[in-house]
Amino acid sequence: MLSLDNLRIEQGDFRLSADLAIAAGARCALIGPSGAGKSTLLGTIAGFLPPTRGRILWQGQDLTAIPPGARPLSILFQDQNLFPHLSVTQNLGLGLDPKLRLTPDDRAQIEGALARVGLANLGLRKPAELSGGQQSRVALARCLLRARPILLLDEPFAALGPALKSDMLALVAEIAAEQGTTVLMVSHDPADARALCPETVLVAEGTAHPPQPTGALLDTPPPALASYLGS
């Protein structure tokens, strides 16, 4: 279980509190007006922004003081998920060993992960030689290799077209189901939330609310969400 225990985030005028729990293996969307703090909340869980008070717990272990790379999670950002000067293999290798000392076994694993996301034999390419969709797949393959129990998605597929985006979301769902990963996904598109996430955390007016069933929440939205959805 991922618990946000009495968490409070403050940044200048910005305030957000969260006191909620997400079950292990759940897939949960974060929905709310822009500027409400969805990305900030993910950033705090990932360890980029210390909370002013409260704790972040995973299976009872306090993560709050652990540096980002050592937390039991992987995160995909909106952009800059790959180092442009490293090859695909090296970018994936960073997920296995940050010092990039790759054993033959590591290389085999990397090939396997590439094949799993449909990019077999592209390991020598640089990210710039791949399409946007392929770059997303590489980043996702790295999460696959790191095999951390939590996956945070900060709209990594926002720049892809609708068809590519739903392909990627389906791939995320598959991989998450295989590895039993807990997924937290920031979304601007209610359809994405419905498609991938049975549960949704509403982030609005300074509060991240406990997860609710996505369908019910979107069908009868509270006022703050209704005005955002425009329904």
Partner 1 sequence: MRTPRPWPAMIAGALVTALILAPLGAVALRGGGLARLGPAELSALWFTLWQAVVSAGLSCLIAVPVARALHRRRFPGRRALITALGAPFILPTVVAVMGLVAVFGRRGIVNAGLGAAGLPEVSIYGAQGVILAHVFFNLPLATRMVLQGWQAIPAERLRLAASLGMGPGPVQRHLEIPMLRAVLPGAFLAIFLVCLGSFAIALILGGGPRATTLELAIYQAFRFDFDLARAAALGLTQVALTLAALGFARLIARAPGFGAGLDRAPVAGLGTGPGLCAHDTAAILAAALFLMTPIALVLIRGLPALPDLPPLIWRASANSLAVALASTVLTLVLALPLALATPRHPLAEAAGMLPLAASGLVLGTGLFLLARPFVSPTDLALPLTFVLNAVLSLPFVLRLLVPEVRNLAADYDRLSNSLGLSGLTRLRRITLPRLARPLGFGAGLAAAFSMGDLGVIALFGNGDRITLPLALYQLMGAYRMDQAAAAACLLIALSFALFALFDRIGHHAQPR
8 A C-beta contact, residue 17 and residue 206: yes
8 A C-beta contact, residue 41 and residue 203: yes
Of the residues 6, 61, 68, 108, which one makes contact with partner 1 according to CB under 8 A:
68
Quote the least distance from Cβ 130 to partner 1, whole Å. Answer: 14
Quote the least distance from Cβ 50 to partner 1, whole Å. Answer: 5
Of the residues 32, 47, 123, 133, which one makes contact with partner 1 according to CB under 8 A:
47
Stretch that binds partner 1, among 64-72, 181-189, 190-198, 215-223 (CB under 8 A): 64-72
Please identify, using beta-carbon distances, which residue of 166 and 179 lies nearer to partner 1.
179
Q: Interface mask (CB under 8 A) for partner 1, residues 93-132, using x and -? A: -xx--xxx-------------------------x-x----
Q: Rounded to an integer, what is the distance from CA 42 to the centroid of its chain?
A: 8
Q: What is the DSSP letter of 134?
A: H
Q: Is 48 in the site for partner 1 (CB under 8 A)?
A: yes
Q: Is 156 in the site for partner 1 (CB under 8 A)?
A: no
**DSSP-assigned states of every residue in 55-76:** EEEETTEE-TTS-GGGSSEEEE
β-pairing, 73-76 vs 27-31, is unpaired
Quote the least distance from Cβ 214 to partner 1, whole Å. Answer: 27
Residue 184 pairs with which residues in a beta bridge?
A: 28, 152
* Residue 206 neighbours by CB under 8 Å, 6+ apart: 15, 16, 17, 37
Element (H, E) at 212: strand 212-213
Q: Given the rule CB under 8 A, which residues bind partner 1?
A: 43, 46-48, 50, 65, 67-70, 74-75, 77, 80-81, 83-86, 94-95, 98-100, 126, 128
